[in-house]
Amino acid sequence: MGEKTHRPPVWLMRQAGRILPQYRALRSKLSGFKELVETPHLAAEVTIQPVDELGVDAAIMFSDILVIPEAMGLPYELIEKKGPFFPRTITNQADVDALLDGPEAANELSYVYDAIRIMKQELAGRVPLIGFAGAPWTILSYMIEGSGSKTFSKARRLLYTNPAMAHQLLTKITKSTIAYLKNQIAAGVNIVQVFDSWAGVLPPEMYNKFGLPYIQMICDAIDEVPVIVFAKDAWFAMDDICSLDCNVVGLDWHMEPEPFRAKHGTNKVVQGNLDPTILYADHSVIKQRTNDMIKQFGGHQIVNLGHGVYPDTPLDGVKCFVDTVKQYEFNKVV
């Protein structure tokens, strides 16, 4: 909310997951990732693990951005050591026409809302709960490519070869995402984050046409709770992102605090943005870098990494990061 605090709050993207031995132990007993996502009490358990183990200031619901394509009619799989995979992808207009959208799609995800209710009950007000969704461009990319990609060339080429179909697909995704986030809020999340993980693969002109307007629609529709927009590698679009009707702008590690503040002032709370690989370094380095970053952002910051924590990060490095933030005091030279 941009309120003054005695120290900045801290959480980590991907805090729930393989960095924690408790997660790996639970996960090894299951058939796969989807069983965890789709079983509300298990999703709640792994959501709360980092709150207990790391002492972070927020929980982020355990789920995935890919539940939205599945709810619209394109099921996903998570292949061990390879990542997401869609057996069917969107290849033509009939595929787009066949997709569910809006509340009809969002209502397929009752396991998420059930999980949120358990999470809220088990958190019992200790820390807020963050909900999330993928940004429409990132979700479209998976629906067209069928997996991650180095270039996202199939998704990018669609914007030139069939822009009308791209806009229709983005519109359907956006309607589903708005209904989905509203259902998350009704179930109890306190703030939502929109992840545009693949913003950086588009030329600025195309991001202005096919990325930002759809994020703006989401920001316009969600007025019940604060909204965080995190667009990875979108340094070229920061002016426009800072003019979105969102409360918090997430930054990756390409953005330097002082130039960012000089250019964009303090009209938004910023979230970020330590390079996640710093957490592999000596603890003196982690402390120094974390304190320097907080000082340079000068308040109005939610401390986080510049992207999700890597799964093989040493747990004591993650703890050192969180503890350093918790020991920080504004107005005290560190």
By CB under 6 A, tell whether 73 contacts ligand CP3. Answer: no
Q: Which stretch binds ligand CP3 (CB under 6 A): 62-70, 105-113, 236-244, 321-329?
A: 62-70
DSSP letters along 198-265, please?
A: TGGGS-HHHHHHHTHHHHHHHHHH--SS-EEEEETT-GGGHHHHHTSS-SEEE--TTS-HHHHHHHHT
Between 219 and 285, CB nearer to ligand CP3:
219
Minimum CB separation of residue 50 from ligand CP3 in Å reads 7
**Whose CA is closest to 25, among 39, 36, 37, 40?**
36
- Residue written as tokens 């986080």? 304
User: Taking the chain, what is the end-to-end CA distance rounded to the nearest angstrom?
Assistant: 25
**Whose CA is closest to 44, among 30, 57, 61, 29?**
61
Residue from 308, 317, 322, 328 that binds ligand CP3 (CB under 6 A)?
308
Determine which one of 76, 113, 142, 214 is catalytic: 142
By CB under 6 A, tell whether 62 contacts ligand CP3. Answer: yes
Between 84 and 226, CB nearer to ligand CP3:
84
Element (DSSP H or E) covering residue 327: helix 315-327
* Distance (Å, whole) CA 251 – CA 288: 20
Active site annotation includes 157: no
Q: Which stretch binds ligand CP3 (CB under 6 A): 63-71, 106-114, 247-255, 322-330?
A: 63-71
Active site annotation includes 14: yes
By CB under 6 A, tell whether 17 contacts ligand CP3. Answer: yes
| Residues paired with 129 in a beta bridge | 59
Minimum CB separation of residue 257 from ligand CP3 in Å reads 21
- H helices, E strands: number in the chain: 16, 9
Residue from 102, 103, 148, 213 that binds ligand CP3 (CB under 6 A)?
148
Residue from 176, 197, 271, 290 that binds ligand CP3 (CB under 6 A)?
197
Minimum CB separation of residue 251 from ligand CP3 in Å reads 14
Minimum CB separation of residue 308 from ligand CP3 in Å reads 4
59-60 sheet: strands from edge to edge: 59-60, 129-134, 191-196, 227-231, 248-250, 269-274, 301-305
Compute the C-alpha angle 270/193/19, nearest 5°: 90
**Whose CA is closest to 173, among 199, 140, 145, 151?**
140
Is-contact 90 144, C-beta < 8 A? yes
Residue from 78, 127, 221, 242 that binds ligand CP3 (CB under 6 A)?
78
By CB under 6 A, tell whether 83 contacts ligand CP3. Answer: yes
Active site annotation includes 88: no
What six digits make up the tokens of 95?
A: 């595929």
Between 291 and 318, CB nearer to ligand CP3:
318
By CB under 6 A, tell whether 14 contacts ligand CP3. Answer: yes
Minimum CB separation of residue 205 from ligand CP3 in Å reads 23
Active site annotation includes 64: yes
* Distance (Å, whole) CA 172 – CA 76: 18
Between 148 and 299, CB nearer to ligand CP3:
148
By CB under 6 A, tell whether 184 contacts ligand CP3. Answer: no
Instruction: Name the site residues for ligand CP3 (rule: CB under 6 A).
Output: 13-18, 27, 33, 60, 62, 64-66, 78, 83-84, 132, 148, 195, 197, 232, 308, 311
